Structure 1
Amino acid sequence: MSFGNARAASSRLALAAIAAGIAYVPFAAQADEVVNIYSYRQPALIQPALDAFTAETGIRTEILFLDKGLEDRIAAEGTNSPADVILTVDIARLTTVKEKGVTQALEDETVNANLPAEYRDPEGHWFGITKRARVLYASKERVGDEPITYAELADPKWKGKICMRSGQHDYNLALFSAAISHWGAEKTEEWLTGLKNNLARKPDGGDRPQAKAIMAGECDIALGNTYYVGLMQTNEKDPEEKEWANAIKVVFPTFENGGSHVNVSGVALAKNAPNRDNAVKLIQFLSSPEAQQIQAEQSYEYPVQPGLEASPVVQAFGELNADTLSLAEIAANRKAASEMVDRVGLDDGPSS
């Protein structure tokens, strides 16, 4: 039975039980060998890891995929929510599920041993299990092999040559938040002003269209996440994206500490998890080296545990030296970063 069908059946049972004056316990809470997952991640990306979990433990997984409103749904369901585990991407969304009060803290020796501290909530409400880097897509034809720092994106030599999506998008806000941690607010605002002045056009679209713009000669470099390159390179449904990917190379910009900004895909334990023991087992498994590598290969991301290898497609991008800045610290700067983007008018594009 699918998760949706199970929920419908559960609702019918609840109504019948209430009509008969019988106390009702949701189906998910009765099932000893199931774990219910609410996910912002596409099921195809996580299914191989979930299949491996079921093969190892015998615990069945049910997925409810949502592209928005996941936190609000769990909050509305309250104590009767069937959600055991929450899967999502980006530190902003991980922080949001915690702030919405739909997670619970988990202090687990296995999970903490598997995942570096910078990829875990200090209070145990979320855990990063794969990571992606915020890098540069650079024209193979027009950009040399010299290293580029994040700071250099404000250098006038790049005037009219940079493309990007909205500065208010979570991916960019996380990068700008990291910059605030490294440089302080004053220097970061000066840098954002320089970046704005170097834009080739008003920020627009997602990460992949920036590669298309580079191929078309509209700009020479663009901000983008690493995994999109893998998705473009292997896109059989839309071969045009392979052409976009073939026009670019990945450049890993760095802060002064030599690290490139990274973000994560992560997992959290739902506040009212009816199958808590199974949920903890799933989080333990997802934190394991085996599961990190399965998920990283499916999504063209990186395992978070040092020493684990990315897929051959991702390794071909070049070597990633990940910034060790705490994601919790990055999250704390998000509001300041968002206000800064508006203050400098980044999304207005370059000044005439």
Structure 2
Amino acid sequence: MKLSRFWKPFLASTALTIALAGCSGTNQNEANEEKEAAKPKTTENQEVNIYTARHYEADDAIYKKFTDETGIKVNVVKGEAEELIERLKREGESTQADLFVTVDGGVLANAKQNDILQPVTSDAIEKNVPENFRDADNNWIGLATRARIIAYSKERVKPEELSTYEDLTSDKWKGKLLVRSSTSLYNQSLLASFIELNGEEKAEEWAKGIVNNFARQPDGGDRDQAKAIAAGTGDVAIMNTYYVGLLANSEDPEEVKVADSLGVFFPNQETNGTHVNISGIGLTKHSKNKENAIELIEYVTSVEAQEYLSANNYEFPVNPDAKKPELLESWGEFKMQELNFDTLGEHNKKAIEIFNKTGWK
């Protein structure tokens, strides 16, 4: 059948329209696909796994806040630092852990030496945490610090009687000094810092002098030393600042009374400063969720998280822009020891030897 002159151009035009419509549909589909690809990826089923030696409610609350804000689930395995390091070594590439968290610069150095961590690169972290609170290779990042101070009875001791750690070995403190045992990592790192700053011989002399001035044989933790001051067993104690905060804000009225009876003194302000130790977080060598892990480090070192941690666990924030709670502010500024936290691990074995030699049990 022949087509009239009228139908030929009409059909040609219709065919062209259909073809263009087809192309338009294809282009539209491609555009939609590009839009979908450009959208942020869903956080559904995303997670980050932590092995931590810090067992604080404040940490758990910060992890929950992170999940609420990002949708990334935080799974936490708690244990002692040494056993977690050994577990990471044993698990190797099969580990599910993305982050390792612990207290003490020496332990963090040990984790690095055992090759279970990898460097972290992040502009946000470098902005949040000063260089002196980070590993030189960024294998670990500081989370918070605590100072090892002299707590004293406000009733029986005047602050002007106090000066240095070394002065605690003088006769005026004989039978009046309280401190926990040599198995305490806090005491081991304190003595390790003296080995680094003053040498082994002077560190041993100090440990011997402290033993001679014991009010009793070491017993219990730092809170127990504070309670012993309140009970009149001794007049001064070596302890960490954050325990004073925890006592002062306890739900137990008796613990609050203990805190009220204590003064806080930062020793060695005219010499090499007060000993400060650090908690830190590191990215594991075989992390399966690296981006999420780094995002969490950025979050926990942010001003918001640092202020929450300080206000609830009474540790000093590492982020210089974070405000301290009123109690910590009331203690004022203080001079810190200046040393590489790695040295706390380097001198740990020698510190234990000195404790054993001097009878500090």
TM bin (shorter chain): 0.7 to 0.9
Which residue in 2 is equivalent to 1:342?
356
Which residue in 1 is equivalent to 2:217?
202
Which residue in 1 is equivalent to 2:241?
226
Query: Displacement, 1:341?
Result: 1.3
Equivalent of residue 170 in structure 1, options 182, 185, 196: 185
1:63 is paired with a residue of what secondary structure?
A: strand
- Please tell me whether residue 63 in structure 1 is matched to residue 63 in structure 2: no
Quick check: 2:106–2:342 contact (8 Å CA) kept in 1? no
Which residue in 2 is equivalent to 1:154?
169
Query: Displacement, 1:307?
Result: 5.1
Which residue in 1 is equivalent to 2:302?
288
Which residue in 2 is equivalent to 1:83?
97
Deviates more, 1:152-161 or 1:105-114: 105-114
| Aligned residue pair count | 317
Quick check: 1:75–1:100 contact (8 Å CA) kept in 2? yes
CA–CA separation in structure 2 for the residues paired with 1:320 and 1:308 = 17
Larger radius of gyration: 2
Runs of 4+ in structure 1 deviating by more than 6 angstroms, as ranges, are none
- List per-residue Cα deviations over 1:102-159 (Å, max 9, x = no partner): 2222243432332223322223221211100001110111110214211211122111
Percent identity over the alignment is 39
Query: Displacement, 1:297?
Result: 1.8
Letter in 2 for 1:345: G
Quick check: 1:168–1:341 contact (8 Å CA) kept in 2? no
CA–CA separation in structure 2 for the residues paired with 1:90 and 1:216 = 30
CA–CA separation in structure 2 for the residues paired with 1:112 and 1:281 = 13
CA–CA separation in structure 2 for the residues paired with 1:321 and 1:198 = 26
Quick check: 1:32–1:275 contact (8 Å CA) kept in 2? no
Q: Against the structure 1 CA distance between its residues 43 and 166, is the aligned structure 2 distance closer, same or farther, given a 3 Å change threshold?
A: closer
- List per-residue Cα deviations over 1:76-121 (Å, max 9, x = no partner): 3332211111121122332333334322222434323322233222
Q: Against the structure 1 CA distance between its residues 43 and 258, is the aligned structure 2 distance closer, same or farther, given a 3 Å change threshold?
A: closer
* Unaligned ranges ≥5, structure 2: 1-42
Q: Against the structure 1 CA distance between its residues 152 and 43, is the aligned structure 2 distance closer, same or farther, given a 3 Å change threshold?
A: closer
Which residue in 2 is equivalent to 1:126?
140
How do 1:196-345 and structure 2 match up within 5 A? 196-236=211-251, 238-254=252-268, 256-257=270-271, 259-306=273-320, 308-345=322-359
Q: What TM-score, normalized by structure 2, do the two folds share?
A: 0.81
CA–CA separation in structure 2 for the residues paired with 1:71 and 1:116 = 26
Which residue in 1 is equivalent to 2:30?
none
CA–CA separation in structure 2 for the residues paired with 1:67 and 1:188 = 28
